[in-house]
Amino acid sequence: MPGGASGALAGFSDLTANTESPLFRLAESHMSSAETVTTNCVITAEFLKELAAVVGPARLLSSKDELLVYECDGYVVEKSVPDVVVFPENAAEVVAIVTACGKHRIPFVPRGAGTSLAGGCLPVGGGVMIAMTKMRQIVDINLRDRYAVVEPGVVNVNLTRALAGTGFHYAPDPSSQGACTLGGNVATNSGGPHTLKYGVTVNHVLGVEFVSPQGELIQIGGPCGRGNGFDLPGLFVGSEGTFGVVTKIWVRITRNPAAYRTMLAIFDSVDDTTQAISNIIGAGIVPAALEMMDKGIVAALEQAFHFGFPLDAEAVLLIEVDGLEVAVDAEAETITRLCKDSGAREVRLSQTEKERALLWKCRKQAFGAIGRLSPSYCTQDGVVPRTKVPEILRFIAEVSKRHDIRIVNVFHAGDGNLHPILLFDERNAEQVKRVMLASDEILGKCIDLGGSVTGEHGIGVEKISFMNRLFTDEDLTVMEDVRKAFNPDGRCSPGKLLPTAGACGMEHIEKQHPGRKAAM
């Protein structure tokens, strides 16, 4: 089906393997299964009856048609249909579900809105999917003590909406904030444009209540932050669902800045644009947001939103400073000067709140506009040191040319967090092959430049093959030991994050999906 969006690719089945690249090896594993993975989990009538007793028949899906909806998340390359989907409404039900899974040795995976771009909530090997979308209450908001208590299924933007007018907001704002859930944000340690100044999810999580893979309800941290012990909330955030099922979150809320200045700097060359990024950060200025969009993405956005973007520009920077009314103008002026010194032909200052809101709408819906450019696309999430942004963008342009694959860029330039978007038609197997190679080269280059393969999307199942390039065997062994401390038999979100040996009772995955063995 064309038109799919993914953290990687679709349509591997016609490819001929000719490379040792990690993504290609991953592709081979998909080719070997060729179709959607099914499961060998033994789902007995007794087990289903136990689950139904917990959630009732209306909140349990087990028919093939209904389950198909849950075969993948935003990462459409790999599909694996769960055997059962349940929708708990409270922590006690999650405890009962996980306990039943333990009794029958069934793997399970929590799922929020399914917006992961790395297969973070893929039910590898089947089993039970615990969909958290019915646990969506904002339990408490305490402005004086600056925290909120939420259930994991609360959609990110709904918390900020609930805070509207109070003078506070929830700072992490992933581009998918209109759909993604706070539980999913905790699992992947989500970022967003404003994390340049305000930090990512972990900087705003005070505590987590979760159900361990053994079925215990555990609270780590709380409204006053971490208590006596290690920084377990800090460790838990970003564990990609492998430590347990989140049932409650205490998040810090942040005072709204008194003033904003939002600018659009327009450049005639990508080199000048990246130099401006480097000069702004190098000058010790940390804007609230510093986002880059190149010509290709600007064209798509202009078609979609009619903002008035200059279609002849090679790239634009969306820059926002915030803080005291008395201070923001001076900061905006400095940034304007640095941009012009770097070759910007124009720096526009947003004149109204409406204009600012539209500019941000364009940025946050950039991925949605890609459909105007190509039937399929693949987004990567590499990170490089900020001063290496010019180098990596030149490399991406060179890769694009060499593989004859169009690549557009919209990304968190201030963090060095790239989102090169590779455009293709997944019905063309030869194109798919070139996209895979190009993606692999880009992520490899990020590592070579001292960066990482993921800044905010997570490893999931997509980038497991890169973990051996980022970390030593000993690093991965230690991480595996940490996972075992929480999740000893690996039944909770199997096949994610680590390329090390995995779950007891997961042998069926190897039989049906040999390539996946390496991901367990």
Partner 1 sequence: MTNSSANDSGQQLLMPASTAEVVELLRAAVGSGSRLSTNRVTAAGTNSAPDSVRRVDLQKMNEVVDYPARDMTVTVQAGMAVSELTKILAEENQQLPIDEFDPLLSVGALVAGDIAGPRQYGYGTLRDYVIGIEAVDGQGRIFHAGGRVVKNVAGYDLCRLMVGSRGSLGILTQLTFKLKPLPEQTTLRSFRFDDAADFESALTKLNVSAANPVLLDFNFASSPPAQQPTDDSDCVQKDIPYALHIGVEGAPEACSWQIEQLRNDCAGGEEVTSDGSLDLSVDHHCRNAGYGWQDNEVRIRTFPSKLVAVATELGARGYSTQGHAGNGILFVQDRTGDTDVRTVCRDIVSRHGGTVSEWTVDHPAKNPDPLSAKLRSTFDPRSIFTA
Cβ contact 107:129 at 8 Å:
no
The strand ranges marked E within 10-104 are 60-61, 84-86
235 binds partner 1 (CB under 8 A): yes
Residues 8-47 that bind partner 1 (CB under 8 A): none
Minimal distance in Å, beta carbon 190 to partner 1? 9
Choice from 48, 138, 327, 397 touching partner 1 (CB under 8 A): 327
Choice from 102, 225, 343, 371 touching partner 1 (CB under 8 A): 225
Minimal distance in Å, beta carbon 206 to partner 1? 11
List all residues 6 or more positions away from 515 whose beta carbon is below 8 Å from its beta carbon.
25, 26, 28, 29, 30, 32, 33
Choice from 220, 288, 316, 407 touching partner 1 (CB under 8 A): 220
Nearer to partner 1, 4 or 455 (CB): 455
Choice from 203, 365, 428, 468 touching partner 1 (CB under 8 A): 203
Nearer to partner 1, 305 or 471 (CB): 471
Calpha distance 420→329 (Å, rounded) = 32
H-helix segments, 179-240? 182-188, 195-198, 232-236
415 secondary structure, DSSP code: G
285 binds partner 1 (CB under 8 A): yes
Residue 148: count of CB within 10 angstroms of its CB: 25
* Size of the residue set binding partner 1 (CB under 8 A): 83
Calpha distance 148→163 (Å, rounded) = 10
SS3 state of residue 302? helix
Minimal distance in Å, beta carbon 13 to partner 1? 29
Site track 63-102 with partner 1 (rule: CB under 8 A), x = hit: ----------------------------------------
202 binds partner 1 (CB under 8 A): yes
Return left, alpha or beta for 199; rule: phi > 0 is left, psi -120 to 50 is alpha, else beta.
left
Residues 394-423 that bind partner 1 (CB under 8 A): 412, 415-417
Q: Which residues pair with 412 in a beta bridge?
A: 417
Minimal distance in Å, beta carbon 450 to partner 1? 5
Residues 461-520 that bind partner 1 (CB under 8 A): 463, 466-467, 470-472, 474-479, 481-486, 497-498
SS3 state of residue 430? helix
List all residues 6 or more positions away from 136 whose beta carbon is below 8 Å from its beta carbon.
151, 153, 154, 155, 158, 181
Minimal distance in Å, beta carbon 467 to partner 1? 7
Nearer to partner 1, 240 or 294 (CB): 240
146 binds partner 1 (CB under 8 A): yes
